[in-house]
């Protein structure tokens, strides 16, 4: 006779199911956007019953917000060991290449202009923090004083995202954006490029 699972085991199963749904949701939202993604497809990709999306997240919008929250929670670790601005941007580039579905989700938001499930205030606060960091780096001489911190932040975000957003251009340039060698070389070149933004 099969024993009933204990509380710890049930907790582990619940957490595993949540993570499976979040992993599947990143892919589906990245491919189809918030409006186009279907909870039935997300559940099928995760290998669970679609009713569990309502159970764990309160529905599709809650799941979308949980995906964003998981990204925010993990974001501070991306460049935790980086010191220079070039190393920070390179760390984001490596993460974008290794986990492209998160970036594709951001691109879908931009293309669809669907903000129904977004957190604009939270997003604004995170990017304002980035601008503040850039201004401090300017004061320290790591970034030229004649550069606008917000515009520079936008440009460097695009630099980190380019291999995922424009893989066809990389291939047209004779590069293989799917190779491990590309990821390492792109991070290296990114670091070198950003170093040239220092004050002379």
Domain range summary for the chain, segments of one domain joined by +: 1-77, 79-200
Q: Is the pLDDT of residue 1 over 50?
A: no
Please answer whether residues 152 and 196 qualify as being in contact, where contact means their C-beta atoms are separated by less than 8 angstroms. no
* Fold: same for 1-77 and 79-200: yes
What's the pTM?
A: 0.79
CATH code matching the domain that covers 1-77, chosen among 3.20.20.80, 1.10.3720.10, 1.10.357.10, 2.60.120.10:
1.10.357.10
pLDDT digits (tens, 9 = 90+) for 150-165: 999 999 999 999 999 9
Domain 79-200 has CATH 1.10.150: no
Q: What whole-number percentage of the chain has pLDDT above 70?
A: 90
- Picking from 98, 21, 107, 95, the residue whose alpha carbon sits closest to that of residue 64 is 21
Give the Cα separation of 98 and 70 in Å (integer): 16
- Picking from 73, 79, 75, 41, the residue whose alpha carbon sits closest to that of residue 60 is 41
57: confidence class by pLDDT, cuts 50, 70, 90 = very high
For 198, what's the count of Cα atoms within 13 Å in the CB-facing half-sphere? 12
């Amino acid at each position: 006779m099969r024993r009933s699972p204990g509380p710890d085991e049930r907790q582990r199963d619940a957490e595993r199911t949540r993570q499976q749904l979040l992993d599947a949701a990143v892919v589906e939202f990245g491919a189809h956007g918030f409006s186009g993604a279907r909870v039935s497809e997300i559940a099928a990709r995760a290998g669970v019953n679609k009713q569990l999306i309502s159970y764990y997240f309160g529905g599709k919008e809650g799941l979308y917000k949980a995906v964003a929250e998981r990204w925010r929670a993990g974001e501070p670790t991306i460049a935790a060991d980086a010191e220079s601005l070039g190393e920070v941007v390179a760390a984001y580039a490596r993460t974008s290449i290794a986990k492209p579905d998160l970036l594709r989700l951001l691109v879908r938001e931009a293309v669809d202009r669907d903000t129904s499930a977004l957190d604009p205030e939270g997003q604004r606060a995170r990017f304002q923090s980035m601008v503040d960091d850039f201004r401090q780096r300017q004061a320290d001489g790591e970034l030229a004083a004649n550069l606008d911190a917000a515009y520079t932040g936008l440009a460097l975000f695009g630099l980190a995202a380019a291999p995922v957003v424009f893989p066809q251009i990389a291939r047209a340039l004779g590069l293989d954006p799917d190779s491990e060698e590309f990821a390492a070389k792109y991070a290296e070149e990114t670091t070198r490029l950003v170093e040239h933004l220092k004050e002379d």
